[in-house]
Amino acid sequence: MVIRISEEGILMITALLASGLHIQSLLPELMETYGSLIYVGLFGVIFSETGLVFCPFLPGDSILFLCGSLSVLAGSLRIEILMPLFVLAAISGDFVNFKIGSRIAHHLKRKTKFTRLIKKLPLAKSHQFFAHHGNLAVSIGRFVPVIRTMIPFTAGLSKMPTKTFLVYNVVGGLVWVLGVTLAGYFFGTVPFIKAHFELIFIGIAVASVLPIVLMALKKRYFGNNKQLM
């Protein structure tokens, strides 16, 4: 049996994962234990969140922000390595996710266990987001948890041209990684933010879910009013 989890539920899991694991203290410990191998793990986290449709719960925003701040505080993380590494992970992850969606699109016409599994994924909001923003959704969807993971998969299912996807994928990946990582680099050392990392991460997740909530409310209330007219 496959349990269906809503986008809001996954966002809550993401926030709890980011705060419950205390990644602001866990990451420096891993750096001290594994040295340069930590870059491999960080690449894997960002690649998995963007590239594997079943991993939308990974705290990508938090990792980018935290690594940006730790590159200032801890000498073992270097910002000149982190940013190209994260950009590569984000862009390649989205492309893999897109290709997976495009490859299995024809299978969805058949009634199989695989088809039922795909339909359990939280794709509804992703389709709405894509319909509302068009191709630009591939870029701006980077800033919305869950949507970030589902958008490239949805683009593949909708048979979006590969060249078009690549353009928006590269632009979105660059802006997301550089924006969030540099925000951590410049603001992560502020005493208040350093002392309240968990709350900041939860705040990021809550702020990110607002577009999804607003879209749902707009569809529910304005859609109903339209029908009544």
Question: Which parts of the chain sit beneath pLDDT 50?
Answer: 1-17, 19-21, 224-229
Burial of 150 per CB tally in 10 Å (0-12, 13-18, 19+): buried
Task: Tell me the pLDDT tens digit for each residue of 135-189.
Answer: 888 998 888 877 888 889 989 888 889 999 999 999 999 999 999 999 888 887 7
Using alpha carbons, list the distances in angstroms from residue 176 to 60, 138, 141, 144, 180.
10, 11, 10, 10, 6
**pLDDT on residue 32:** 77
**pLDDT on residue 130:** 78
**pLDDT on residue 228:** 35
Sole residue written with tokens 């994924």: 121
Contact 49, 180 (CB under 8 A): no
Which residues neighbour 110 within 8 Å (Cβ) at sequence distance 6 or greater? none
Which residues neighbour 172 within 8 Å (Cβ) at sequence distance 6 or greater? 94, 138, 139, 140, 141, 142
Cα separation of 109 and 125, whole Å? 21
**pLDDT on residue 226:** 43
**pLDDT on residue 109:** 56
Report the number of secondary-structure helices (H) and strands (E) in the chain: 13, 0
Using alpha carbons, list the distances in angstroms from residue 16 to 47, 126, 165.
20, 23, 32
Cα separation of 110 and 106, whole Å? 8
